[in-house]
Amino acid sequence: MQKNIKGTAEGNTSKSQLDEDDQILAKMGYKQELYRGFNAFMSFSFCFTAVAVISGCSILFPYGLKSGGPVIMIWGWIIGSVFTIICGLSMAEICSSYPSAGSVYHWAGMMAPPKWAPFASYICGWFNFLGNAASDASFAFGFAQVVSAAIHLGTRGDIEVPVIGQVGLAVAVSFLWALKNIMRVDHQGWFNNASAIYQLTSTFVVVIVLLIVSPRLSSSDFVWTQYNNGSNLPNVPYSCCIGLLMCLFSFSGYEGGAHMAEETKNASSSAPWGIVYTCLASAFTGIIYITGLLYSCQNYIQEILDGNSDQAVVNIYALAFTDSNGHVKLAGSLILTVMLIINLFFAGFSSMTVTSRIGFAMARDGGLPLSSYLYKLNPRTLTPDRIIFLVFLMDVALCLLPLISQTAFAAITSITTIGYQISYAIPIVLRLTVCRNTFQKSAFHLGNFSEVIGWISVVWLCVTSVFFLLPSEFDENGGQNAKIFNYTCVVVGGTLLLAMIYWFLPAPHGARHFFVGPKRDDVHRSKVDSENQQALLQIEIQQIKIDSVKEQEIAEEDNSRNWKNSSINSDEFKQLKKQ
């Protein structure tokens, strides 16, 4: 009996919480459409999995070794973590007030001035959508690189997967992620929970195993002070700037839980805390992993970069399991490599889920071409299948870049980081300026520290975004060529150009003629008032036309009657005259 009462009470509490979440969503102008099946831990686990710090650090580890070496990698991680946590606090505060699937895209539209709300939301959404799509592609190609390295290692160099083969692997795994994302969200919850636990445990397992089995460890001087310039960078300050990419890319997507807010219970609290806990957990996990890898390098840099495989981390695994005779124990190194491959698979899956949600939010508000077609949910699973397919096509396009340039992978990660950071900066700036006195605080807020933390976040996000547009590698003469050119500016600029073209197209095709961004009372009320004024004006014009027609008809009747009367009077006069 007590169990039944307890179960009923818990059910009522859950129902009331869902009702409250639906009411908050309704106040923002939306009805509940997505399935709300995430709890607080699922929100954190999803966000942590989407960030996938061990995956990000692994696939950009060779970039870090070449672009500054251990000293830039480890101190860049510490400094970058501090500022990322600060940015995460600013994002969490806004998320608590606007818990919607659109995340930064929605926040920008809600906080911008009514006149500029559509454009602010539109630009923010496109940058975030680009960053998310590039993140998917980064994980997909990183997955392909590590699988190729495992094949190369397992066959002792007999089989080497070419770049075109790696691109094919990236496309194949992207397709698998798309199929997995079609499942209903609560059926994915266990997947994300397992992924978060696996990432944490696998990180510690890998680090402990490496430190135990390595024949010798790197010196502390190597780990904390060794500088390396393998990309012919101009100077140390330049290396410090672009060397931050490994850290900031690895942190990219820490607002992922906000995209799932419409599918999370008690979203005003669960979603923002998911962001904060993700930043803290990622910072801690990342420093442990990077430190463990650097100590396992055994004071080698070039040997790891030019090792048996193209992946530096896999080469470290192999080096740790190499005996005094130079013989590699494949079993141990392959087990660690497979653990990394599983991490990358989990990361890419969660990343694609986030990308599909920002795409869904934009299509719902008409922010993408063919939005009316894309904004259709699968009636059985309540998932945005058409958006998921669009995301898959975008990922495939980005995965083709390595066929053009050998630095293309670094460019994809730079695109990811810039797309995310610009989309983060826009709502924070609006929060600090336009909404400084009108921002509605919710369950999570920063109190008197809100503005200081906010401005630090804005400066950090904007300045570091500029760094990743700079060349990441130079030839021996300090110049550039097509193979090492940083194509980040081309992709980011091209996407921005496409967005602007779609915005400024002539009526009725251009987004500026119909896109109003997220629903908000003042924007929609002004739109309704304008429509009402137009309607009243049309009614007045119609009434004037009707009155004019009636007056004309009356005048014609009077003229006709006068003519008849005059005709009758003329006949009577003639008769009288005859008489």
- Give the pLDDT of residue 574: 52
Nearest 5°: phi and psi at 229? -120, 85
To the nearest 10°, report the CA torsion of 73, 138, 353, 469: 70
Q: Any bridge partners for residue 328, and if so which?
A: 322
- Give the pLDDT of residue 30: 56
Domain boundaries, the chain: 33-519, 526-579
Distance, CA of 106 to CA of 125 (rounded, Å): 8
Residue 303, number of CB atoms within 10 A of its CB: 12
Residues 6+ apart with CB under 8 A from 26: none
Q: Any bridge partners for residue 322, and if so which?
A: 328
Distance, CA of 232 to CA of 467 (rounded, Å): 16
Our measurement of the distance from residue 419's CA atom to the centroid of its chain's CA atoms, rounded to an integer in Å, reads 8
CB 411 within 8 A of CB 488: yes
The H or E element spanning position 67 is strand 67-68
Q: How far, in Å, are 251, 466, 467, 575 from residue 470 at the CA level?
A: 20, 7, 6, 110
Distance, CA of 500 to CA of 422 (rounded, Å): 16
Distance, CA of 278 to CA of 535 (rounded, Å): 51
In tens digits, what is the pLDDT along the chain, a chain of 579 residues?
A: 444 444 444 444 444 554 566 665 666 555 655 555 566 677 777 777 778 888 889 989 999 999 999 999 999 999 999 999 999 999 999 988 887 766 788 888 888 888 888 899 889 988 988 888 888 999 999 999 999 999 988 888 788 889 899 999 999 999 999 988 777 655 555 666 777 788 888 888 999 999 999 989 999 999 999 999 988 888 999 999 999 989 998 888 888 777 666 667 777 777 888 889 889 999 999 999 999 999 999 999 988 988 877 789 999 999 999 877 777 788 889 999 999 999 899 888 878 887 887 788 788 777 788 777 887 887 777 778 888 899 999 999 888 888 877 677 778 888 889 999 999 999 999 999 988 888 888 888 898 899 999 999 999 999 999 999 998 888 888 888 777 888 888 888 888 898 899 888 887 778 888 787 776 655 544 443 444 444 434 545 555 555 565 566 666 666 655 555 555 455 554 554 555
| Residue ranges with strand state E in 350-495 | none
- Provide the token pair at 398: 């980005």
Question: Which residue in 274, 239, 217 sits closest to 68, CA to CA?
Answer: 239
- Give the pLDDT of residue 29: 55
Residue 290, number of CB atoms within 10 A of its CB: 27
- Give the pLDDT of residue 486: 84
Distance, CA of 302 to CA of 317 (rounded, Å): 15
Enter the CATH code of domain 33-519. 1.20.1740.10
Peptide bond into 518 cis (omega under 30): no
CB 318 within 8 A of CB 308: yes
pTM for the full model? Answer: 0.78
- Give the pLDDT of residue 559: 62
- Give the pLDDT of residue 19: 59
CB 179 within 8 A of CB 95: no
Angle ∠(350,353,357) on CA atoms, nearest 5: 145
